[in-house]
Amino acid sequence: MTTKDKVPQYTDLLWPTLQALKLLGGSGNVVEILDKIVEIQKYPESIQNVLHLNKNFSELSYRAAWARTYLKNVGAIENSAHAVWSITKYGEAVQESDLKGLHNKAKSKYMPAPEGKEPTEKSDGALNWKDELLEILQAIDPSDFEKLCQRLLRESGFVKVTVTGKSNDGGIDGTGVLRVNLLSFQILFQCKRYKGSVGSSTVRDFRGAMAGRTDKGLIITTGSFTSEARKEATRDGAPAIDLIDGQELCDLLKDLKMGVKTIESAEIDKDWFKNL
């Protein structure tokens, strides 16, 4: 049995998804839900690291997205325009023994897409353009990716952003200063042009390189972070490290209009004008 064969099917993630939302207080974003599922089911990093068709997201996150799609289809969960998922009153009452029947009901209305297609849920609808963008980012020269991250930080309000270009510096690729009102914080950052999941060891090594130099760090990657990496980044008693994964990087580039154009369209609601 290969590692991919050990990744749970989406049908095995239906109940853990409902459990995760309950433990999160009834709502959560995609990352919070997946992290809670991993915690509940105790999936190791080897399972989290399996890529979906060699793309920029994991097989586990792909199947978790399908689980959310099916649960939404039967009214057990819902999602907002801000990509926050919440459990419904109906979902609260659903028992694990009910899920097989609910799945069959949903399947009769919504057949799974062919292998390699993405779920059509609202929160994941942008995956196609993000995949294209991430492929471009992974194809550019490493030094150009560092320059991109440097400009991204500048556009986000950082000053004195420099790329060190040093090797054997514990993974530190540059420094910057973030000004918040009257206060300034020196930040060390790492740019990881990577396909796959960044594990907890990378976060630990980066924190070790930060020791004695600053209390704030930032890791930017075109890949994703395992649940253990995110836990390590915010571990109690250790300097916090902020993490920006590939999906968030795409959103930032889009928001800052850096290489991503948005085309707005308008639809007229004729009935609205009839009810003035």
Domains and CATH numbers, the chain: 3-120 (no CATH), 135-255 (3.40.1350.10)
Cα gap 177→170, rounded to integer Å: 20
**217: phi then psi, degrees, rounded to nearest 5:** -135, 160
- The answer on pLDDT for 162 being more than 80 is yes
User: What gap in Å lies between CA 12 and CA 37, rounded to an integer?
Assistant: 11
Note the residue count of the chain. Answer: 276
Q: Does residue 244 register a pLDDT over 80?
A: yes
CA–CA separation, 107 and 178 (whole Å): 49
First vs last C-alpha separation in the chain: 64
pLDDT digits (tens, 9 = 90+) for 247-257: 899 999 999 98
- Do 161 and 174 contact (CB within 8 A), yes or no? yes
pTM of the model: 0.74
Q: Which two tokens stand for residue 176?
A: 């910057």
pLDDT at 166 over 70: no
Sorting pLDDT into bands at 50, 70 and 90, what band is 212?
Answer: confident
Better-predicted residue by pLDDT, 30 or 266: 30
Ramachandran region of residue 26, left (φ > 0), alpha (ψ -120 to 50) or beta?
A: left
Tokens matching residue 178: 């973030």
The predicted pLDDT at position 54 comes to 66
Q: Could you tell me what percent of the chain has a pLDDT over 70?
A: 88
Judge whether residue 127 has pLDDT over 70: no
Question: What is the band of 13 on the pLDDT scale with cuts at 50, 70, 90?
Answer: very high
- Is residue 5's pLDDT more than 90? no
Q: Report the C-alpha gap between 222 and 208 in whole angstroms.
A: 22
For 40-87, what is each residue's pLDDT tens digit?
Answer: 999 998 899 888 886 778 899 999 999 999 999 899 999 986 678 999
User: What distance in Å separates the CA atoms of residue 221 and residue 108, rounded to the nearest whole number?
Assistant: 39
